Structure 1
Amino acid sequence: MKTGSRILFVICLLLMAQGIYSQTFGEGYYRLTTQWLGNGKSLDVVNDGTNNQLQIAKTAKVSGQAWKITPIGDTGYFRLTTEWMGSGKSLDVVNDGKNNKLQLAATDDVTGQYWKITSLGDGFYRLTTKWQGQGKSLDVVNDGKNNQIQLAKTEDVTGQYWKITALK
């Protein structure tokens, strides 16, 4: 490869990396859906009195489906909270030994609440945590009901391709 071609190649790689790892999200709220289930099913908080369990539910204009994506300093990670529960409850990994269940937990400085949002192209993103790393991604459980989420081994499956759509 000639020197000019190498330089152009390196510049292209740097630009692609910037697009993949430097996601920015505005001040508003967002809807999270998957490529697999489409826009008709959204990440939602179960309204059961406890209000800390998550599900994939029929898309509706409800505050439990409105997610705020807040940068955590200059770390490249984000905190995910809902309009309904506010900034005091964050999307978190349950520390139970299996470490694949998710919940809304009291907002804290823990790596299970630090989310990396990586562009996959075509408007879809992969969501991983600082704690579990790139090897586990936010995924929809493929069990016939298809309404539960988990952290699962990162794979090229559409249940791990998340669309993040601005609401307000």
Structure 2
Amino acid sequence: MSSNWITQLLLILCLQMAVIAIARNDPTNYVEETIEAKDTHEKKPVLKKTRNNFDVSAYYRLTNAFKGSRLALDVDEQTNNYDLKLNPISDRESQHWHFVPLGNGVYSLRTRSFGDEYSLDIINDGKNTIPHLAKTGQYTGQFWHLVRRSDGTYNMWNDFTTQDKLLGVIPSSGVAKMLPKAASEAKQRWRFVKIE
């Protein structure tokens, strides 16, 4: 009798996990477009994969709705932790962000200057509010969710701090910080500007 109860409990748990996995993977939010190859002489079509209405093979500048389009999220290479802040838009490759799909609508964010070796993460110091670049790994602070808003901006949160905290900026300094969720606040909304 007890083994039947355990078997049924395991079956229910497996079904719940399957339903959650299916719900998180939203295939209607994924589009494949065929584009012509520009860097070759061939006429062979190349697939450009997009998700959340952006091209995951491209690089983007991240601008903040509160601070405006003249400042972009940048890596402060002068700090030991590669902290983040808004700086005037420039050709610095530390302002060129790439969204690496990890599956189920989760992304790793990396810069052109640091490549795949470093990803956007959160310092685990008990407060867990400081975003920075850290060695890429299987860390929940590197698993980012992008929530598109009706105005075309995005809220960004990660699995470590959960959706209770969103990536934002301190208005006075432009320093990036995980802030308590207030999704409609401009300092927690981001624009992704494709770099051509």
Q: Which residue of the partner structure matches residue 135 of structure 2?
A: 106
Q: Which residue of the partner structure matches residue 154 of structure 2?
A: 125
**CA root-mean-square deviation:** 2.1
**1:55 to partner: Cα distance:** 1.1
Which residue type is aligned with residue 118 of structure 1? Answer: V
Q: Which residue of the partner structure matches residue 83 of structure 1?
A: 112
Q: Which residue of the partner structure matches residue 41 of structure 2?
A: none
Is structure 2 residue 184 aligned with structure 1 residue 154?
Answer: no
Q: How many residue pairs align between the two structures? A: 149
Distance 2:141 2:80 in 1: 20
1:28-65: CA deviations, max 9, x gaps? 10000011111101100113274712111111111010
Measured at CA, do residues 47 and 40 of structure 1 come closer, stay the same or move farther in structure 2, by a change above 3 Å?
same
Is structure 2 residue 88 aligned with structure 1 residue 58?
Answer: yes
Which residue type is aligned with residue 76 of structure 2? Answer: V
User: Could you say which structure has the larger radius of gyration?
Assistant: 2
Measured at CA, do residues 49 and 138 of structure 1 come closer, stay the same or move farther in structure 2, by a change above 3 Å?
closer
Contiguous gaps of at least 5 residues in structure 2: 1-27, 30-50
Distance 1:106 1:47 in 2: 14
Distance 2:162 2:134 in 1: 19
Distance 2:79 2:140 in 1: 26
Runs of 4+ in 1 over 4 A off after TM superposition: none
1:38-77 correspondence runs (5 A): 38-48=68-78, 50=80, 52-72=82-102, 74-77=103-106
The normalised TM-score by structure 2 is: 0.71
1:89-100 correspondence runs (5 A): 89-100=118-129
RCO comparison, higher one (Cα < 8 Å, 6+):
1
**What SS is found at the alignment partner of 2:94?**
helix
**1:25 to partner: Cα distance:** 3.2
**What SS is found at the alignment partner of 1:121?**
coil
Distance 1:86 1:34 in 2: 23
Q: 1:45–1:51: 8 Å Cα contact kept in structure 2?
A: no
Contiguous gaps of at least 5 residues in structure 1: 1-17
**What SS is found at the alignment partner of 2:67?**
coil
